[in-house]
Structure 1
Amino acid sequence: MAMPFDKCYARHLGSCDGKSREHFISKAILETLAPFGVQGFPWLKPGKAGTASPSSLASAILCKHHNNFLSDFDAEAAKLFEHLRLIDSKQTPKELSSLPSITIDGVLFEKWLLKVLCGAMASGNFQVDGKFFGKLAPSEYMVDMLFRNNSWPKGAGLFIDFEQRQRMDAFRGLGYDPVFVKTTATNAMICGIDIRLWGFPFRGLFVTYEDGAIRPGYRPPKLEVVNGSIRKEIHFEWPHGTPQDTWSILTRDGTIPDSS
């Protein structure tokens, strides 16, 4: 699936400067939750939840220079996570109406999704179909996407994909699973990550189709959360000209309205 990992996973970019312990899931989010529930980690059975602390999710996978580079991505994800947590805490329409709408920098949040994937691979904190693969080096392609300021190809990035489910996952914490495609009968390539933030599912895909097709749910302009007559919006800000799909509307209890 990938080559064994050693040292800073961004070392091919140069300028490495000392070893650090990197929280591949943002420390600010972890401290908000602590102690918190987790899913998808290698010490857990598939589909089962457990608990963890911020210190248990830090690994020596980046040098200080490259670790510091990721702070803006962490801040944007923490901003979104805190807002989702507040939405979940508002039980009535009146309580929900007190919350403002927010705008999230979509590119920064996409990079955070990729940061989590690279960190989970490099630290060995993931499983596929219940199998633990150990520490794997993220590809130079993914590392370049994460650290360089080049525009990503259309079709790579954030997706809101509920897979036709009638209800969201009610899990209140953090959970994730890698997204992979089979390249042969016995090998697979990790191409993205599914992350559940406070019950809300987000998917980051970092490869594109050869024919240039874009999957449904790509870079949504917003999410809407509904409680009674009250709607609260989470807007995503994207570069000019970005192709966007329709947005998802969710009720307070996690039901996805029937659009038929």
Structure 2
Amino acid sequence: MTTTGTADFKHSKCYANTEGGCSTRISGEHFVSHSLIRLYTFDDPHVTIRHNSGFGVRNPVSPRRFVANVLCEAHNNGLSDADAAALKFATFLRDIALRYRNGSGAWGANESVEVSGDDFQRWVLKLLATHAAGNAITADDELVKSPILEDSIHLLLNRAAWPSTWGLCVAADATNLDLKFDPFTRLETVTDDWWGVTPMLKNGDQTLVGGVVELAGVGFGLSLYNPGRGAPGFDLPANPLRGSIQRPSFMAWELNGVRKQVNFTWNDHHEHRNITYTMDRT
């Protein structure tokens, strides 16, 4: 059943309540999509999950309890397309990785999948926002309250267009170890290291201004401000987004001329470049 909200109702526990539209019931928003947990655990009913860095959910719990009560049912339901985009992306890469078996299996023939870039970009933002709203972010090993920009909520709920200098980016520089780009040659990407989140916080008030989210062995940067692409400081080692390209039209992995490709569709008017990673069978 889909729960709809009331135009002028703002649930006090829903971080997306900036313009109302909330339902009266709060829901448990998973820190990472429940569908992804089920995918990577082969839907094992006995599996447990926790955060591994000392914040958020610190003790192993069942997937249904790996949640924060930070969204009402209406706004949670409204983000289902974002979850679906992440699941489609991860399923494609995971299936290839399982067949490839870290180089000991078959790479096979050309394959591709189409994923909504708009929805996937919102999924990355949702994961970051859930950790901020769920008090699961640390700075200097201390738990911090990280406010969420109202502009971020408008972007998350598809109420506003992404500025050209904000948004999703992926690795285009092999020396940037903050943005991973190899989903196939690490067995951990299909076992216990298939997702991760590293928020970026504003100096002073610790406002969430972006971060890096990992899924299926691939790192996605997200900026909720103009990070100064092209400026001298952008490519300094301290910047996790250095050497990246924004909103790719596709990401491809090529081995011996055979490509596995994720095509992203976008409804904006921004430039969309592409990136191909050339692999070596070791």
User: TM-score scaled to structure 2, two decimals?
Assistant: 0.73
CA distance in 2, matches of 1:53, 1:165: 37
Partner residue, 1:80: 89
Residue 195 of structure 1 pairs with residue 213 of structure 2? yes
Structure 1: gaps of 5 or more residues: 1-5, 256-260
Is the 1:117–1:178 Cα contact (8 Å) retained in structure 2?
yes
CA distance in 2, matches of 1:37, 1:87: 26
Q: 1:178 to 1:107 in 2, by over 3 A?
A: same
Could you say which structure has the greater relative contact order, defined with CA pairs below 8 angstroms and 6 or more residues apart?
1
Residue 220 of structure 1 pairs with residue 248 of structure 2? yes
* Equivalent residue for 1:114, pick from 125, 128, 132: 125
Amino acid at match of 2:121: E
Amino acid at match of 1:22: E
Deviation of 1:15 (Å): 2.3
Is the 1:93–1:229 Cα contact (8 Å) retained in structure 2?
no
Partner residue, 2:107: 96
* Equivalent residue for 1:208, pick from 198, 215, 226: 226
Amino acid at match of 2:26: K
Q: Percent identity?
A: 25
Deviation of 1:43 (Å): 6.0
Amino acid at match of 2:265: E
CA distance in 2, matches of 1:144, 1:240: 16
Q: How many residues align?
A: 241
Q: 1:33 to 1:10 in 2, by over 3 A?
A: same
* Equivalent residue for 1:57, pick from 46, 53, 66: 66
Alignment of 1:1-260 (within 5 A): 7-17=13-23, 18-34=25-41, 35=47, 39-40=52-53, 42=55, 53-91=62-100, 95-98=106-109, 100-134=111-145, 136-161=146-171, 164-165=174-175, 168=180, 170=186, 171-172=188-189, 173-182=194-203, 186-209=204-227, 216-239=244-267, 241-251=269-279
Is the 1:20–1:61 Cα contact (8 Å) retained in structure 2?
yes
Partner residue, 1:3: none
Deviation of 1:44 (Å): 9.2
Deviation of 1:51 (Å): 6.6
Q: 1:212 to 1:15 in 2, by over 3 A?
A: farther
Partner residue, 2:4: none
Query: What is the CA RMSD across the aligned residues, in angstroms?
Result: 3.2
Q: 1:100 to 1:37 in 2, by over 3 A?
A: farther
Amino acid at match of 1:205: S
SS in 2 for 1:236: strand
Deviation of 1:226 (Å): 2.4
User: TM-score scaled to structure 1, two decimals?
Assistant: 0.78
CA distance in 2, matches of 1:55, 1:194: 25
Deviation of 1:39 (Å): 4.8
Is the 1:217–1:245 Cα contact (8 Å) retained in structure 2?
yes
Q: 1:211 to 1:147 in 2, by over 3 A?
A: same
Deviation of 1:193 (Å): 2.0
CA distance in 2, matches of 1:57, 1:248: 35
Deviation of 1:68 (Å): 0.8
Q: 1:224 to 1:41 in 2, by over 3 A?
A: farther
Deviation of 1:127 (Å): 2.5
SS in 1 for 2:246: coil
